[in-house]
Structure 1
Amino acid sequence: MLLQLPTETLCLISAQLENQHNRLHLASSCRRLYTALHRTIFVEVKLCAYRPGVPVPEIRQVSQFLYTIVRNPDLASVVQVLDLCSWQTKTTCDNHGYPSDIDFDRDIMERLVREASSDSKRQVTWIKDLECGITDAWLALMIPRLNNLRKISFIWSIQADYVYGMLIDAAKAETPVFPHLEEAWAAPRDTEGWSETELMLPFFNFPAMRKLGGHMLYDGWEWTEEENQRNPWGLPVEIGCSNVTDIDLRMSCANDGLQTWIRSCKALKTFRYSHGGATVAYEPSNHRRLYEALLLHKTTLQAVSISEDEYGIDPEENENFFLGSFADFTNLKTLHAPCTGIVEQEEGRPTQSLVDILPPSLELLSLFYHDMELLVWLLEECELLLDSNVCPKLGTICIRHCGLNETEIAHKVENLKLRCEDAGVSLRNFHSDSRDEMEYWDSVWPFDHDFDQ
C-alpha cells in the first residue's frame, strides 16, 4: 500500500519523521522509497536533540549522515537547510556520560581531520574526541562539507568549542567555505539562560549572508574605537564589512546596544529587537548606543522594531532608554517603538511632537507607552499627525496598550478611529503581548524565516 502512493505523498510522509536518522532508514528500506526520497530528504536536514539524562542517539544520526555525504559527495551539495538542535560537547559528556557503540571508521575520520587541521597536536585530540563520540567534534567535520547550504539554525550547547572553532576558521578562509549561506538563526539550549551574540560573529564574514536572527542572546562585549577591528578570537569585525541586511533578535539583551552586529553591516534594511527582561538577564538595553549604530543605516533602513519587556526595568531607571528622532531615516516604512524612546521629555511630559520626529516615507507606525497620561498624549498626537500630512504614505497606525476601558480614553480612541477612516488610514489596537499582536507582526514584518517557530 505504501509503495503505491505518489512520490509527492511519500515525500510528505518522510517530512513528518522527527529526525534525519529515521528518514534515512525509511529511504533505505527498499528500492522504490530510495528512488523517491534519497535526494529530497537531503534538501532540509534536521539533526540532534540532546537532553541531559535522556538517551538520544544523536551521535548515530550525525555519524551516519557524515559517512553518507563523505561516501556520496554529490548528496552534500543537495543540502540547503540545516537545523541543529542542541548536541553533546566535551563538557556535557563529562557531566552526563559518554555514548557507547560508536560507528568509528578510523581511516575516514583520520583523513577528514588531516584535511581540517594541519596542527598535529590538535589532530590527536580531535581523533580521540571523535572516537569517544563527542557530537561537537563530528559536527565540526560535517558542516563545512555542505557547500551549497542556504540556511542554518543552531541551538547552542555548552562550550561547543569544535563547532565554534570551525566557524571562525571558515570566516577567516580566503576561499569561501559557505559561498551560498544566506540566513542563520541561534538560540541557547537552556531556556533559563542565554548565549552570547559573539557566537554569531563569524556569519558576518560569509559573502552571501543576508539575514541573521536569534532568541535569548546576550550582547555584553563592549565596542570601543580602539578594539573595533578584532574581537577576543582574532576575528575581523570591521565597520561595514558584512552584506547582512536583516537582523531579528527576540527575547534578548542589548546591554551594549548591539554595536558590533549593527556596525558590521554595510546597509541594513530591517532591524527588530525585543528585550527578554529577567528571563535573559536583569540588565537594561542600551538604546542610546543602539540608536547611534542604527544612524549609520538611516538611508537604507526600511523597518525598525524595538520592544521592551513591560515587566522588566522601569524606563525611568534606565539612563540609556531614549533612542532619538527618526526624521532623518529617509527610507523608513515601518516603525515600532516606545513613545518614551523616541520623544524627548521633561519631568515625565513630552516636549516634542510626533510630526517633528517621523519621516515622510513612513507607512506603518506602531507605538506603545508606559503610563495612561502618555496614552492620552499619544491619541491626540496621532490626530495631529493625520492633520499635518507629514507622512503622506501612512496607511496604518497601531497602538499597543494595557487597557482602554476608561470612558474618556475610550471616547478619544473612537474619535481617532473616525479620523483615521476619513484619512484612509487603518487603526489597530493591540493589548500588550497578545496573540493578535504577535500574529499581526509576523504577517507584516519583512524578515521571512521559520527557524523560530
Structure 2
Amino acid sequence: MTRPFQLPNDVLLLVGEQLDDHADRWNLIFISQDFHDLFLSLVYRTVRLNHWRGAYSFIRAITKRPSLARVVRELDLSRWRKESIPQADWDVLQRCSILQGRVEVSSYSQDETTQWGENLAKGRGDAWIALMLPLLTQLRQLHLVYSTPSICLNRIMQRAISNERPFQSQPAFQHLSKVSLHHREHLDQPTAHANAANGSHEDQSALLLSFFQLPSMCSIVANSLVDPTSISIDSDPETDETEPLDVGCSSITEIDLSRSSGNRGMDALIASCADLKSFKYQHSDSHLTSNGYQPTAFYRSLTRSKRSLQTLWLDHYGDHYPFTSAGLNQTHDEWFGSLADFSALREIRIRLPNLLDIRYQSEPTSPLINSLPRSLEILYIDGCEERHVGMLVSQLRTVVRNRRSRFPHLRCLSIEGAFRNASADELGDTSASASEPADDTIKPKIVQAAEPLHEDCASAGLELHVHDRTFSQSPHH
C-alpha cells in the first residue's frame, strides 16, 4: 500500500500516541508494511499480559527482537489469570530453546531450574515476569499480581540489586519509577486471613523492600502488607534474609498501602524515604499477626517526614476487629497527635477519633485549630459519629473563621459518617412497598447541625461536603 501523501514519521507517531485503546494501536500495524514497521514499537510501549500464553509469546518476541524489549515502558500483569499449563502444552514449551535459554541464564543450579519449571507450569505470573524483567532495560512502570512464596521473583529482584547474573552486564531497572504489587491470595479470598502460611510475611517484605532500593523509584502501591519493621525485629536473625533499609536511602516519594497491618507504623519504609510526599494507609485486622491499628506508631514514623509530606490518608475505610492477636482492640480510636508541625501538608484524610483527642470525653483536649498545619488545603474527616457532629461543626467553624490568618490555602472540607436515613427494611417496616426507592438522603438533623458550617463556608468561598459511607452527596448535603 502506497500512501497518497506523505507525512513525516514523527507526526504519524504523535497521532498514534493519541490512541488510548491498545487494540486501536494494534490495528495500526496491520494496515501496511510501512505502518507495521513504524508503529510496532508503539504497540510494545505498554504491554498487558493476562495469562501464560501471552507471556510466552511476549518472551519469544523480545528475545528474537531485542529492540522491542528496549521500547517497553509499562508492563501490566494486574489482571493475570493463574492457570496450570496443560501437560501437552508444557511438553512443547519445555522443548522451546528460547524458554530454556531464559531459564538457564536465570538459574544458578539444577534445583533452581527445577523450581522455575514448577512455577512456570503452574501458570504463576510472578515466575513468568521474573523471566522477562532482565530483558526490559527501559521499563518505567510495573503492575503485577504475585503469590507467596514468590521464590523466582524474589530471587531475580535480589540479583538485580546485587548486579549479579543475569544483570551483570548493566545495572538493572535504572528507569523504573512506579510499581504496584497486589497479593494474589488476598485478591482471591478478600475475607480470609491474609498471609497465613509460614514465611509469607518475610516473602512479601523482601519483595517490597527490593523496590525501595532501586535508584529511580518514585511511587509504590501494595496491598495486604504486614509491617516489615515488626518482621525484622521479631524474626530470627539467623534465618531471616530480609536486609533492613538504610535511613534516607530511597528515592520513593509516594507510598500507598491498602488492607495492611502496620504494627510499628511502617517505620522501616517511611524512614528509608529521603523525601516522602504522599503516604496513604488503609488498616486491616484480617492479618493473623495484626495487633490493631496504632495511630501513635504512625505519628512517630511520619514525624521524620513532617517537612516534606504533602498528602496524608490514614485508615480510610479500614477493618477493625473487636479482638486481635494482642487481645482487646482499642488502639484504633487513639489520637494520632498534632499535625501543626507538618509544614508542607496540603491534604489530610483521617478518622475523627484520630484527628481529635475525644476518646474519653465529648470535647477535644486540644482544639482542632491548634492541630492543623498552616499549609492545609483539603481536610477530609472520616468516621464521624452522629453524637459528635455538633462538636465537630463547632471546631470546623473556628477553623473557617480564622482561615485568613491561620489557614490561607484552605479550600475544601468534607465530613463522612453514618448519616443516611434508614430504609424501611433497616427499620423493620414490612408495610413499605418493595418497589419504593431507598431513602439515600442525609438525616435532617445532620443537615440542620451542619447548616451553620455551610453558611460559614459559603461566605468564605470554601467547599463543604457531607457524606454517608454508603454514598456520596454533591457539594453540601
TM-score class, shorter-chain normalisation, is 0.7 to 0.9
Q: C-alpha separation between the residues in 1 aligned to 2:375 and 2:300? A: 21
Superposition TM-score, scaled by structure 1 size? 0.78
Superposition TM-score, scaled by structure 2 size? 0.75
Letter in 1 for 2:417: H
- TM-superposed CA distance for 1:153, in Å, is 0.6
- TM-superposed CA distance for 1:406, in Å, is 5.4
1:153 to 103, 128, 143: 143
Q: In the alignment, is residue 139 of structure 1 matched against residue 151 of structure 2?
A: no
Distance 1:127 1:357, change over 3 A: closer
Q: The residue matched to 2:375 in structure 1 has which SS? A: coil
Structure 1: state its 5+ residue gaps: 49-57, 440-453
Q: C-alpha separation between the residues in 2 aligned to 1:396 and 1:402? A: 20
2:177 match:
182
Distance 1:344 1:124, change over 3 A: closer
Q: The residue matched to 1:83 in structure 2 has which SS? A: strand
Distance 1:283 1:28, change over 3 A: farther
1:341 match:
354
Deviations 1:126-145 (A, max 9, x none): 67548857655443221121
- Of residues 308-317 and 403-412 in structure 1, the stretch that sits farther from structure 2 once superposed is 308-317
Over aligned residue pairs, what C-alpha RMSD do you find? Answer: 3.9
- TM-superposed CA distance for 1:428, in Å, is 1.6
Q: The residue matched to 2:279 in structure 1 has which SS? A: strand
- TM-superposed CA distance for 1:14, in Å, is 6.8
Q: In the alignment, is residue 290 of structure 1 matched against residue 304 of structure 2?
A: no
Q: In the alignment, is residue 121 of structure 1 matched against residue 110 of structure 2?
A: yes
Contact 1:43 1:80 in 2 (8 A): yes
1:215 match:
223
Structure-to-structure mapping, 1:51-450, within 5 angstroms: 58-85=51-78, 93=84, 99-104=89-94, 107-117=97-107, 119-122=108-111, 124-125=113-114, 128-129=117-118, 136-173=126-163, 176-190=171-185, 191=187, 192-193=189-190, 194=194, 198=205, 199-219=207-227, 222=230, 232-276=240-284, 278=286, 284-309=292-317, 312-313=320-321, 317-319=329-331, 321-322=333-334, 323-345=336-358, 347-349=360-362, 350-388=364-402, 389-403=405-419, 408-432=445-469, 434=471
Contact 2:384 2:415 in 1 (8 A): no
Q: C-alpha separation between the residues in 2 aligned to 1:265 and 1:102? A: 46
- TM-superposed CA distance for 1:311, in Å, is 6.4
- TM-superposed CA distance for 1:12, in Å, is 4.7
2:22 match:
15
Contact 1:168 1:235 in 2 (8 A): no
Contact 1:383 1:416 in 2 (8 A): yes
Distance 1:146 1:386, change over 3 A: same
Sequence identity of aligned pairs in percent?
Answer: 24
Contact 2:386 2:419 in 1 (8 A): no
- TM-superposed CA distance for 1:68, in Å, is 1.4
Distance 1:302 1:292, change over 3 A: same
- TM-superposed CA distance for 1:152, in Å, is 0.3
1:35 match:
37
Q: C-alpha separation between the residues in 1 aligned to 2:253 and 2:181? A: 17
Q: The residue matched to 1:273 in structure 2 has which SS? A: strand
Residues matched between the structures, number: 418
Q: C-alpha separation between the residues in 2 aligned to 1:104 and 1:225? A: 43
Q: C-alpha separation between the residues in 1 aligned to 2:209 and 2:231? A: 13
Structure 2: state its 5+ residue gaps: 5-11, 165-169, 196-200, 421-441
- TM-superposed CA distance for 1:423, in Å, is 2.0
Letter in 2 for 1:412: A
Contact 2:225 2:261 in 1 (8 A): yes
Contact 1:250 1:274 in 2 (8 A): yes
Q: C-alpha separation between the residues in 2 aligned to 1:260 and 1:110? A: 39
Q: C-alpha separation between the residues in 2 aligned to 1:131 and 1:274? A: 33
Letter in 2 for 1:331: A
- TM-superposed CA distance for 1:93, in Å, is 4.9
